[in-house]
Structure 1
Amino acid sequence: MTARPRTIVTADPELDDLNSMIRFLLYGNEVEIEGLVYASSRFHWRGDGAGTEFFLPDREYTEPQRSWRWAPGERFIDDAVDAYAQVYDTLVTHDERYPAPDRLRSVIREGNVDFEGDTAHASPGSDLIADVLLDDRPGPVFLQLWAGPSTVARALMSIEERFGETPEWEAVHATVSAKAVISKFASQDDTYDDYIAVAWPGIRVIEVATLAWGYMARRTIRPEDHHLLGASWTRDNVTGVGPLGALYRVWGDGRQMVPGDMTDYFHLSGLSADELRALGYGVWMPPQPPGEWISEGDSTNMLNLLVPGLRAHEHPSYGGWGGRYVRTDDGADTWGLADAAFRVGGADWADSSATGDEGSVVRWFADAQADFAARLQWTVRPFAEVNHHPTVRIAEGTDVDVSAGSEVTLTAELGDPDGDDVSCRWWVYREAGTYDGEVSPAAEHGIRTSIVVPADARPGETIHVIAEATDDAPTPLKAWQRVILTVR
């Protein structure tokens, strides 16, 4: 069996982090969860409990803060795992790889949460990250920064402090640099620019900032998918489905992450932006009807890890549910979304002019939502009553050497655990391959197709062929398998 991606999530107590965490736990069978870490950001910190005041200019507050948008006894990750524990006995009947609740609880840690960008001391969270990066298992380890980078920065600092003056330092530095893969939704504090990028330039860093899964999703997802943000679809498929679904945050649900937070007006409904401002709220996105989608802004950190057959976690350029990425000039191994509407350091993303198609992400939005809804059903219904993914295997293998001008045949071996009929569609993910030209499968549908490799294809160039399997259940599910043709 193919090894599942190893990953650690660092998150701050934003409602979109809670929603992303709920989705993430439903894919605990597809990844190895090595850590769930509370982290701070420029938007959230706990304070040190000693009354220390903290102030940075150009922030949303005007007075020094002891704590900023952090509830006493914050436990949103624990709450999500508690809800998961309520449904685990049902969920595990659908896939025995789901981690036990106690396993998840054993990797929950508090990171560097006292203040924004605080790396003054190691924390349980930073120690966990350092230990995983230094273990003897081969990489990669995907470090998801749903919050600021400070806890990951502190982990790397601890490694440097331990080995920096030893003969092992050069080898440790190279090994950790090759093992860690950082994905981040912008740099939500300064520790990436000030430390990680400087001291660890060899770490692969993927900037996953998008509109498509965040508060501004309505600006960029396809019109035919807008109903997937609506109150009716969300109620029927998410919030009305079991303890995990009930925990999911929607407009007008009467809940705040931090009581009294005047930047969080999402618990209210039926008020205009002007009426909210009159109540003292800082309104930064248009109010929506009750029950509608709010945000899963950090989900692009995880989406490319969740669909094994798409292989998107193998390289940023491959593309998958979380989008397709291209090299940037920010560092030696840095990547950004190929078609981002959100431009870090560019146009104000909350401004109405910040729009774009983000096509490499939104093309998968409906598939991801259908899959999410199916997995929530797994939490409340037995195996025989719900749909499961079809299976697809390529008889010729998933990495095939070819010659320019040759023809290669590909055969899909299809199955379905529910006994459903399964159809297969073949397509070429042109942007993911390195051959810059048109290539099409001879047959778009059926279990077998062939590809004629262009005569001008050069050695080393690649063509990415996708087999997309769909079952014929009333609520269909899909599975994918990517085949990479490499010209030799």
Structure 2
Amino acid sequence: MTVKHRLFVLTDIENEPDDTQSLVRLLLYSNEIDIEGLVAVTSTWMRHQVCPATIRDVISGYDAVRPKLLRVYSDYPPASQLLAVVGEGVPLYGMEGVGEGHDSQGSEALIAAVDRGGESGRPLHVALWGGANCLAQSLWKVRATRTPKELEDFVGRMTVYGISDQDDAGPWIRRNFPMLPYTVSVHGENDYMGSTWIGFSGQPRNGLPGADKSLISADWIRENVQYGPLGSKYPGVIYGMEGDTPSYLNLIQNGLGDPSRPDFGGWGGRYKRIFDPEARHYHDTCDTVTASDGSTQASAGATIFRWRDAVQCDLATRMRWTVEEDMSKLELPPVVVVDGDRSTDFVTRKVKCSETIELDASDSASPSGAKLSFSWFQYKEIGSTLPVPVDVPTFDMHGTANTSKLSITMPKTTAHSPGKWRMDHENGRVYHVILAVTSEGKIPVTRYRRILLDVSP
């Protein structure tokens, strides 16, 4: 059985509709993610108010549809379990709410959740949908009340994904606890258009030329999401759709991403570690993609919008589960099998330069009985030492990129750039190939396998 990732959400819900939208989607994946905290906090946009009642209201919609969800997967948690982890931080802005006398229901629950990770061995993934002062207070208290070794162990049991900095507590955390794995877009105050996460909700008018907006339009959302007891809790878009959703998308074990490797990319975007051996901070990086209008686009947002159609179809599929009476009409994710391996783990192959290998995904299947399509492609940006991956050769796939069996020939050498970049790779290199398998039903559903090709020179 796949071990689920643990999630603790800090949300400035009611600042605008997008947090509520992200929560509706999250509950549809509560069978795949262990939700251990849903805490209402402040942010620069809502400085002196927290709104846990809205979280409870969305959970009531989930409670109404859970019986139908259980027909598909048996491990959707009861609403009572989710309600038990709803909490709130102090209604103060940023560092005003950190220090002596500022413990809150939320900060105490966060400490307890991190401590539980020592028993399970699973890190706690903290998602910052708003400000970070609840997390900052937890860290402040642990530093004040435990030994340095205990603090180190505590910090080592969690990761953070921030949707930009929405108060001054996030920068304080990174300065004071630099070895806490922290993924975030860093930019000028409230200047979000260049961030990674904007690739999920951004429109061409918001600096994402070429991004297909048809599956994030108001009409599409109305038809595919906003219906039924849970979907009716999904509000319309005012500024941007689901800006906070990328913070947990890489926790969904779809064969593509790994939350411990932000640099590998996935539905939640791709980030690279900064040049600082004393900090585990991951910031924006670019992917170069062919956009829906045929243009070539390179941006941080592209690391998300390249997957966005599949993410949206997945939401539409799951929302249909909440109302459909006829089980035979439900679309289910395909099971991707590579060389007999049915897990969602990455597939690793040791290969030699110039060697031709084959990968067989013909045992993949759709539980719904739908026809499957296959697409194998290089993810060149990973492992490249340059802003644009010109140092990564294009593999010869011998015309098999859209078949269930891939034939692929490795490059003649692992070093393709002069100077330092050549030295970086002259002793070997790992290339990433992604297999996307899509069920061709009424709503296409996609799952993946990532193949790591470890090439020796």
Answer yes or no: same fold by TM over 0.5: yes
Q: Structure 1 396/215 Cα, relative in aligned 2: closer, same or farther at 3 Å?
A: closer
For 1:148, the equivalent position in structure 2 comes to 131
1:479 equivalent to 2:447? Answer yes
Percent identity of equivalent pairs? 28
User: Please, which of 81, 85, 91 is the counterpart of residue 59 of structure 2?
Assistant: 81
SS at 2:71 equivalent: coil
Q: State the Cα deviation string for residues 350-407 of structure 1 (Å, max 9, x = none).
A: xxxxx96722211111111111111110111143222111110212651222233333
CA apart distance, 1:17 = 0.8
Match of 1:326 in 2: 272
Instruction: Answer whether contact 2:257 2:267 (CA < 8 A) is retained.
Output: no
Distance 1:74 1:28, change over 3 A: closer
| 1:371 alignment partner in structure 2 | 314
SS at match of 1:28: coil
The residue that corresponds to 1:65 in the other structure is none
The one-letter amino acid paired with 1:437 is P
Segments of 5+ residues of structure 2 without an aligned counterpart are 186-194, 288-297, 342-346, 385-390, 415-425
Seen in structure 2, the aligned counterparts of structure 1 residues 317 and 44 have a Cα distance that, compared at 3 Å, is same
1:428 lines up with 2:378 in the alignment: yes
Superimposed CA distance per residue, residues 299-349 of structure 1 (whole angstroms, 9 cap, x where no aligned partner): 121222224310242411111112221223577221122139xxxxxxxxx
What residue in structure 1 maps to residue 432 of structure 2?
464
Aligned mates of 2:270, 2:395 — CA distance in 1: 19
**What are the residue-to-residue correspondences of 1:214-253 with 2, within 5 Å?**
214=201, 218-221=205-208, 223=210, 225-239=212-226, 241-250=227-236
Q: Are residues 1:199 and 2:170 paired? A: no
Match runs of 1:51-66 below 5 Å: none
Amino acid at match of 1:124: Q
Residues 1:378 and 1:218: Cα distance change in structure 2 (over 3 Å): farther
Where do residues 274-353 of structure 1 align in structure 2 (5 Å cutoff)? 294-329=240-275, 332-339=279-286
Secondary structure of 2:212's counterpart equals helix
Matched, 1:25 2:27: yes
Residues 93 and 459 (structure 1), Cα distance of their counterparts in 2 relative to 1, 3 Å cut: farther
Deviation, 1:112, is 3.0
1:83-141 alpha-carbon deviations (Å, 9 max, x no partner): 11111110121112222211111211212333433123211211121122222222332
CA contact (8 A) 2:94 2:169 kept: no
Q: Does 1:39 align with 2:41?
A: yes
**Counterpart residue identity of residue 89, structure 2:** G
Instruction: State how far apart, in whole Å, the 2-side matches of 1:400 and 1:212 are.
Output: 32
Contact 1:396 1:410 in 2 (8 A): no
Flag the 1:9–1:422 CA change in 2: closer, same or farther, 3 A: same
Between the aligned partners of 1:222 and 1:369, the Cα distance in structure 2 is 19
Task: Read off the aligned partner of 1:213 and give its amino acid letter.
Answer: F
Give the 3-state SS of the residue equivalent to 2:264 in structure 1.
coil
CA distance in 2, matches of 1:231, 1:7: 29
For 1:301 and 1:146, the matched residues in 2 are separated by 8
Assess if the C-alpha contact under 8 Å between 1:212 and 1:220 holds in 2. Answer: no
Q: Distance in 1 between matches of 2:132 and 2:126?
A: 10
List gaps (5 residues or longer) in structure 1: 47-69, 252-265, 267-284, 286-293, 341-354
1:408 to 351, 357, 360: 357
Distance 1:33 1:486 in 2: 35
One-letter amino acid matched to 2:379: Y
Structure 1 position 146, deviation (Å): 0.5
Matched, 1:10 2:10: yes
TM-score (ref. length: structure 2): 0.82
Which residue is equivalent to 1:256? none
- Does structure 1 residue 388 correspond to structure 2 residue 332? yes
Which moved further from structure 2: 460-469 or 398-407?
A: 398-407
Contact 1:227 1:233 (C-alpha < 8 Å) held by counterparts: yes
**Distance in 2 between residues matched to 1:405 and 1:17, nearest whole Å:** 49
**What's the CA shift for 1:173?**
3.1
| Contact 1:9–1:36, Cα closer than 8 Å, also in 2 | yes
In the alignment, is the contact (CA less than 8 A) between 1:17 and 1:298 conserved in 2?
yes
Change (3 A) 1:402 1:197: same
SS of residue matched to 1:139:
coil
Aligned partners of 1:428 and 1:440 also within 8 Å: no
Q: Give the conservation status (yes or no) of the 8 Å contact 1:211–1:220.
A: no
Q: Label 1:145 to 1:39 Cα distance change in 2 as closer, same or farther (>3 A).
A: same
Alignment of 1:429-448 (within 5 A): 429-434=379-384, 436-442=392-398, 443-448=400-405
Counterpart of 1:123 in structure 2 is 104
Q: How far did 1:440 drift?
A: 4.2
TM-score by length of 1: 0.77
Shift of 1:145: 0.5
Mapped contact 1:139–1:178 kept (Cα < 8 A): no
- TM-aligned CA distance change 1:173 to 1:396, over 3 Å: farther
Report the Cα offset of residue 182 of structure 1. 0.8
**CA distance in 2 between partners of 1:100 and 1:478 (Å):** 27
May I ask how many residue pairs the two structures share in their alignment?
Answer: 404
> Is 1:94 matched with 2:77?
no
Tell me if structure 2 keeps the 8 A contact 1:39–1:147. Answer: yes
The alignment's C-alpha RMSD in Å is 2.5
> CA separation of 1:460/1:130 partners in 2, compared to 1, >3 Å: closer, same or farther?
farther
CA distance 1:379–1:329, change in 2 (3 Å): same
After TM superposition, give the deviation of residue 36 of structure 1 in Å. Answer: 1.0
Contact 2:7 2:126 in 1 (8 A): yes
- Distance (whole Å) between structure 2 residues aligned to residue 137 and residue 182 of structure 1: 18
